[in-house]
Amino acid sequence: MELLTYEYWGSVYKIPSFSYHTLIVGTGAAGFNAADTLYNLGVTDIAILTEGISMGTSRNTGSDKQTYYKLTLAGGIPDSVRGMAETLFECGSMHGDIALCEAAGSAKAFFKLVSLGVPFPANEMGEYVGYKTDHDPAMRATSCGPLTSKLMTEALEKSVRAKNIPIVDGCRVIRLLTDENDGDDTTRQTKIAGCAALCEDAITQDNPAGLVFFLCDNLIWAAGGPSAIYKSTVYPESQTCAHGALFLAGVKGASLTESQYGIASTKFRWNLSGTYQQVLPRYISVDKDGTEHEFLNDYFPDASHQLTAIFLKGYEWPFDPRKIYKDDRRGSSAVDLAVFAELQKGRRVYLDFMHNPTCADKDGALDFSLLEEIPRQYLSNSDALLDTPIARLAKMNPKAIRLYADHGIDLTSELLEIAVCAQHNNGGIAVDADWQTSVEGLYCAGEAAGTFGICRPGGTALNSTQVGSARAAQHIAGKSAQPKEESAPAAQGIFAALHHTAAPTSRMMTDEVYYQSETVLQLTAALLDKTDGMSASELLAVRDAFAEEMSRCGAFLRHAGELGNLYAHRHMQLAGFFSVHRAKDFRALKELFIDHDILLTQYVYIGAMLDYLRHGGLSRGSAVYTQDTVDALLAADKPQEIDTAHASYVQETRFERMTGEVTSEFVPVRPIPDAELWFENVYNRRKD
């Protein structure tokens, strides 16, 4: 560690600087796997930075049975690496080399998790059985239940802690430090040099903002998706957006327009997919005066159609414009629109697991004669032809009931409040087949990486956390040797030397990096204002207003005029943000930087949506681009016009720091490579 001295407005600041070969930002399934894989490959001069070790999506989200998607490992259904890659690639706007890597690495990543103790189910012969998920032709899905990603994260964390890899907790990264590229990679104009973070444990009299600089040769960003840009969201409240630091560093985004939205609970944020829908709960809304409406009766002509649409929400959980009206009838995504329509009327919307939909209720029991073949056969195969939704749920998935009970919600006796929520960004930061970004040495893994396009099979996100982070680690380990130096300090002791003489860091700042670090120091110093600064609660209110505006016009229903107005508004807000807002203390300062990050991320995402529209983009994925009202969309008796022109392109987007504008271009998808398959050639390329 080194204490760097800066002077600003007559005050002297001493800021700690640490140096590592590789940094990992994030402590979810991707971040922990990156660190674990690096260490196993001999790269031990590493550290993990996290805002809060228990805060991320991996540890705090799931569904009825959270899915992990990988190569088929049971039964006689034919499968292949190429076949899985084609399934991913055919969803559209996804690069073929990434699809092939996701498929090829899936079995290895899966069995690593098994070896670490993640309890994926196997039969008595040792086959890891699977089931069919959405956009899946081969029953590749598996699950440990509602908390699959949590179990993955905990197993990987245990492995990381056993290796004594430093974990710096309570550390919010606010800026990336970059330098000019003077290496062999001429495709990237800049290279990573480190990052600046706010750490409460680093606060001293000479460093009131708790600013810390971390220098590195490589950085793996695994901080999750744009979790706080929407008000209606199923992302955990503890996770906040962190994409802004990447956009400020000039990193390109990919397919930022493509997110998933669907029905989720709001009191406890959780996806209501799978068996939550397949048990056929009752949908109701309640007026401010307490009047109850069973509103799906207004949109579906008969009980059979309504029950099938509800049932299919289990398989088809993400909202999909192709499924609003399908096969001459309203489809499963009409349910999402109907929920949203009720919310727009000022009503609260609920799922009722205690009672059947009244259109099919017969003396307190479901009239199974009204069911169409698919739901009737499914419930019969599950031995769940039982009277009520809660009885059927208890039979098919008792863990789904216990999950809510653990969070203070008793599905056997109370209604479950719901909304249509943002759940996953298929896009994100543009990466290559090694998960390296447009900045040399900066990698992105997990949901932060924009590896998917228009849609994806359910569960591919969890596979991507493991394959992408492993690919990044392998590339780092293979491209340069780790310098011989003393071991990194233990996590609990990383700031212990702040009041003592510090040894110089092994990586010196260039003039450019020092200038960036000085600029960050000056900004944090100027923003701390104990007299007139805003409190953390006031800044959280600012954040809520940002998120509400984005949910209104930039979520699954997108209106060109409203998006254009919001883009102009965000441009103006960003230009004056730090001149208008100040923070009264450390906690408020951290929230202030998070607010700015959210604002910038919204601005870039809206810019991508507007560019897509300017290029003639139509509804696709999980979003409708329309000028119609929700009622008009529900009343339509024909399918939505779906975009096909852009499926063979990936939209790449960047924030132009000099002009403050957002620019995009459509680049052709990279095809699935015809990789070398002749054994002797691959064998002889090995490095012994």
CA distance 140 to 152: 18
Same domain, residue pair 291 and 242: no
User: Could you tell me which residues come within 8 angstroms of residue 209 by beta carbon, excluding any fewer than 6 positions away?
Assistant: 198, 203, 524, 525, 527, 528, 586, 589
Going through 279-415 in order, the beta strands assigned E by DSSP cover 282-286, 292-293, 325-326, 329-330, 348-352, 361-362, 365-366
* Average pLDDT rounded to a whole number, residues 356-361: 96
Whose tokens are 């039969």? That residue is: 123
How many separate domains does the chain show? Answer: 3
- Answer yes or no: are the C-beta atoms of 505 and 21 closer than 8 Å: no
Tokens linked to 117 = 């103790």
What whole-number percentage of the chain has pLDDT above 70? 96
Looking at the structure, do residues 372 and 402 belong to the same domain, yes or no?
yes
Residue 416's identity, in one-letter code, is L
The model's pLDDT over 450-487, given as tens digits with 9 standing for 90+, comes to: 999 999 998 999 999 999 999 999 999 998 666 555 44
Q: Is the same domain home to 247 and 266?
A: no
Please check whether residue 46 is in contact with residue 20, taking contact to mean a CB–CB distance below 8 angstroms: yes
Q: Which of 368, 401, 422 is the last residue of a domain?
A: 422
CATH number of the structural domain spanning residue 560: 1.20.58
pLDDT at 179 over 60: yes
Same domain, 416 and 518: no
Long-range contacts of 328-334 (CB under 8 A, 24+ apart): 329/305, 330/299, 330/300, 330/305, 330/634, 334/299, 334/300, 334/309, 334/634
Nearest to 22 by CA among 1, 40, 39: 39
Of the pLDDT bands very low, low, confident and very high (cuts 50, 70, 90), residue 238 is confident
C-beta of residue 445 within 8 angstroms of C-beta of residue 105: no
Let me know whether 486 and 577 are in one domain: no
Q: Do residues 493 and 599 both lie within one domain?
A: no
Write down the pLDDT at residue 604. 98
229 is written with which tokens?
């840009």
Mind giving me the DSSP string for 247-273?
A: HHTTPPEESTT-EEEEEEETTTTEE--
The answer to whether residue 77 is domain-embedded is no
CB 75 within 8 A of CB 139: yes
Domain CATH for 429: 3.50.50.60
Element (H, E) at 657: none
Q: Residue 92: CB partners within 8 Å, gap ≥ 6?
A: 453, 454, 455, 620, 647, 648
- Round to whole Å and give the CA distance between 618 and 115: 45
pLDDT at 499: 45
Instruction: Determine contact, residues 528/209, Cβ cutoff 8 Å.
Output: yes
Enumerate helices (H) and strands (E) in the chain, giving the number of each.
21, 26
Cβ atoms of residues 49 and 173 within 8 Å = yes
Please give, one letter per residue, the 3-state secondary structure of 547-559.
Answer: HHHHHHHECCEEC
Which amino acid, residue 386? L
Q: Is the pLDDT of residue 620 over 70?
A: yes
User: Is the CB of residue 506 less than 8 Å from the CB of residue 19?
Assistant: yes
Mean pLDDT of the 186-202 span:
92
CATH code of the domain covering residue 403: 3.90.700
In a domain, 502, yes or no: yes
Of 505, 525, 545, the domain-final residue = 525
Determine the Cα–Cα distance for residues 238 and 297; give it in Å rounded to an integer: 37
Q: Amino acid letter at 70? A: K
Distance CA 456, CA 382 (A): 27
Same domain? For 637 and 541 the reply is yes
372 with 486, same domain: the answer is no
Say how far apart CA 393 and CA 388 lie, in whole Å: 9
Same domain, 520 and 536: no
136 in a structural domain: no
My answer on whether 447 and 551 are in the same domain is: no
Sheet holding 270-271, edge to edge: 270-271, 259-265, 416-425, 348-352, 282-286, 292-293
Structural domain includes residue 162: yes
How confident is the model over 528-543, as a mean pLDDT?
94
372 with 383, same domain: the answer is yes
The pLDDT tens digits for 270-296 are: 999 999 999 999 999 999 999 999 999
Span 478-501, average pLDDT: 57
Q: Which pLDDT score is estimated for 486?
A: 47
Average pLDDT over residues 664-675: 96
Looking at residue 423, the DSSP 8-state letter turns out to be E
Residue 290 forms part of a structural domain: yes
User: pLDDT digits over 199-210, tens only?
Assistant: 999 999 999 999
- 246: CB partners within 8 A, 6+ apart: 176, 221, 429, 437, 444, 448
**Based on C-alpha coordinates, what's the Rg of the chain?**
25
C-alpha 515/C-alpha 430 separation (Å) is 27
Q: What is residue 447's predicted lDDT score, i.e. its pLDDT?
A: 96
**In whole angstroms, what is the distance from residue 187 CA to residue 627 CA?**
41
Query: What does the pLDDT average to over 389-411?
Result: 95
| Domain assignment present for 656 | no
The answer, yes or no, to whether residue 491 has pLDDT greater than 90, is no
Residue 351: closest CA among 280, 268, 422, 269: 280
Where in the sequence is the domain holding 580, given as residue range(s)?
A: 528-643
Q: Output the average pLDDT for the chain.
A: 93
Statement to judge: residues 211 and 282 lie in one domain: no
Average pLDDT over residues 540-567: 95
Within-domain flag for 165 = yes
User: Has residue 159 been placed in a domain?
Assistant: yes
Q: Of 471, 461, 476, 466, nearest to 434 (Cα)?
A: 471
